[in-house]
Amino acid sequence: SNNKVAYFYDMDVSRFHYGPGHPMKPHRLALTHTLVLHYGLHNKMQMFKPYRATSHDMCRFHSEDYINFLQRITPMNLAGFTKNLKLFNVGDDCPVFPGLYDFCSMYTGASLQAATMLNNKKSDIAINWSGGLHHAKKYEASGFCYVNDIVIAILELLKYHPRVLYLDIDVHHGDGVQEAFYLTDRVMTVSFHKYGNYFFPGTGDMYEIGAESGRYYSLNVPLKDGINDQAYQQLLKPIMKAVMQSYQPTCIVMQCGADSLGCDRLGCFNLTIDGHGECVKFMKEFGVPMMVLGGGGYTVRNVARCWTHETSIIVGQEINDELPYNEYFEYFGPDYTLRPDTSRGIENQNTKQYLDQLRQMCLESLKMITHAPSVQMHEVPPDLLSFDNYESLSELDVRERQEDVDQRIEPDNEFYDGEKDNDKESDVSI
């Protein structure tokens, strides 16, 4: 692999603490970074101590009131802000901890800089494991996220890129990013996530497809508990291949939340580190400039393993399953390996019929994109995309299954036929 990879890490970002009992642990970033260094992966990429985002940068998406509040709030002056705490949803899930604003500034700065590096073509793939806080909204914090570094980075990318694809494989729906770009076709958001049974955040059913100019440019793949590698790939690969073909993004932003792994403290999927990494590998092989971000992930040792493994995939360096000795070695016992089986525990509640139906719906919905008049299909800088390249690369993985899919689809087509026209206008309103 001869991709130019840029990697962003600020030593200080792992030294924040959300508070006693909170599942989000920035320390996972120190574990990840330590493994990356000890595996020698830095010898395959440029490492940057990232820029720190200013309030001005944050206000490119967020409201000034909200950012102003984040700048001023500390655990010491909470009492004076009770009204604002409620207004901005800061409290339980999103606690005020010492250095909160600096924390946001670090992970957001890294994503923003990653965007600039991609824009200037200084790198092909840019990694920021501290970013990917996909739940943050314009006016409020949500789900452990305060500032939406993804939205801010995509806004930067849009200065150079006519179409940016956002893919989210966190176990939670990428609601903040979807919401921010719900009305535009310049950004297509695709999210694979657990949906139902009160699972956070409660958005992301397959009928959320975008609105106005953005209609059909939000794609949601709601899943049930316990999905395993095989089932996940059988959805992700054909769907993402179709997305790449119909949307033809010039840049990809991928949120790699590691809470979709099995054995996650908050998640309920059953992916292995290999299965999770396979998604990154698959997307990388399209050969489109890509930003790779972190996100959720609450079983700290597995998060570090997962993102280290994915770093190795991105730089194209095979690494030993036996972990190198490092200062956090004890965290990885008793096996001290990179890819222990994380798939234990939960039964896969996604039936074959459900998955087939879901894939069919997504592929149907993607067909609408080709016919959408507002998408600027010809505005593709020629050096960015080479479609032959990714046709051949993904061929082996997908084509066979695609045939399977086509066969299975046939009866379903009948089922949809009479409805198709209906679907457009009198569909359940959103």
Partner 1 sequence: FMFPSPTDHHPSPASTTEDQEFELTADAMVHDFDDEATMEEEEEDGDGDDEELDDLAKERDIPLEDLIAMYYGKQENKDVSETEKVKNVLTCDLDQSWRINLGLLHYLTKHEAHIYITYQVEDGSSSDSREQLPKTNENKDSEELKRKLRSNATLLSPTHAESPDEDGDYVPPAPEDWRKDPRVGDEFQVNMIPRCDNQGPDYNIDSDLLVWDPIKINPTKVESYLKEISDISTTGGLPNGCHLRDNEDALFLLSQCNNDTDEAIRQFRWKPRPLSSELQTWSEEECRLFEHGLSLYGKDFHNIHHNKVRTKSIGEIVKFYYIWKKSEHYDKFNAKTRLGKKKDTLHPGVTDYMERLLDETEHSIS
Is 101 annotated in a binding site? The answer is no
Stretch touching partner 1 by CB under 8 A, among 54-62, 226-234, 238-246, 280-288: 54-62
Stretch touching partner 1 by CB under 8 A, among 196-204, 228-236, 283-291, 302-310: 196-204
Is 42 annotated in a binding site? The answer is no
Segment 304-323, which members bind partner 1 (CB under 8 A)? none
Q: Which long-range contacts (CB under 8 A, 24 or more apart) does 189-192 make?
A: 189/217, 189/218, 189/219, 190/165, 190/166, 190/218, 190/219, 190/220, 190/221, 190/239, 190/240, 190/243, 191/167, 191/219, 191/220, 191/221, 192/168, 192/221, 192/223, 192/232, 192/235, 192/236, 192/260
Which of 14, 123, 191, 312 contacts partner 1 by CB under 8 A? 14
Distance CA(271)–CA(260), nearest Å, equals 6
Contact flag: residue 17 with partner 1 (CB under 8 A):
yes
Task: State the alpha helices, DSSP H only, in 120-228.
Answer: 149-157, 175-180
Copy the structure tokens of residue 190: 């695709």
The residue to which tokens 């590691």 are assigned: 258
Distance CA(356)–CA(362), nearest Å, equals 10
**Cβ pair 185, 212 in contact under 8 A:** no
Binding mask 253-292 for partner 1 (x = CB under 8 A): -------------x-x------------------------
Distance CA(132)–CA(28), nearest Å, equals 14
Distance CA(149)–CA(155), nearest Å, equals 10
Bridge partners of residue 290, in order along the sequence: 125, 252
Binding mask 222-241 for partner 1 (x = CB under 8 A): x-x-----------------
Segment 377-406, which members bind partner 1 (CB under 8 A)? 379
Stretch touching partner 1 by CB under 8 A, among 158-166, 232-240, 385-393, 394-402: 158-166
Contact flag: residue 180 with partner 1 (CB under 8 A):
yes
Is 298 annotated in a binding site? The answer is yes
Stretch touching partner 1 by CB under 8 A, among 239-247, 271-279, 363-371, 412-420: 412-420
- In the complex with partner 1, the residue whose CB is nearer, 327 or 341, is 327
Distance CA(36)–CA(127), nearest Å, equals 12
Is 102 annotated in a binding site? The answer is no
Which of 29, 48, 166, 258 contacts partner 1 by CB under 8 A? 48
Report how far apart, in Å, the C-alpha atoms of 169 and of each of 144, 178, 294, 296, 338 are.
Answer: 17, 13, 10, 10, 20
Residues in binding contact with partner 1, number by CB under 8 A: 105
**Cβ pair 253, 131 in contact under 8 A:** no
Contact flag: residue 64 with partner 1 (CB under 8 A):
no
Is 57 annotated in a binding site? The answer is no
Stretch touching partner 1 by CB under 8 A, among 200-208, 235-243, 271-279, 388-396: 200-208
- In the complex with partner 1, the residue whose CB is nearer, 140 or 278, is 140
- In the complex with partner 1, the residue whose CB is nearer, 311 or 394, is 311
Distance CA(170)–CA(362), nearest Å, equals 18
Contact flag: residue 408 with partner 1 (CB under 8 A):
no
Contact flag: residue 143 with partner 1 (CB under 8 A):
yes
Distance CA(164)–CA(157), nearest Å, equals 7
Whether 135 is catalytic is yes
Contact flag: residue 217 with partner 1 (CB under 8 A):
no
For the bound state, the minimum distance from the C-beta of residue 414 to partner 1, rounded and expressed in Å, comes to 8
Is 161 annotated in a binding site? The answer is no
Q: Which residue is catalytic, options 27, 62, 134, 135?
A: 135
For the bound state, the minimum distance from the C-beta of residue 171 to partner 1, rounded and expressed in Å, comes to 9
**Cβ pair 48, 56 in contact under 8 A:** no
Copy the structure tokens of residue 77: 């002056």
Residues annotated as binding site for substrate? 93, 143, 298
Residues annotated as catalytic are: 135
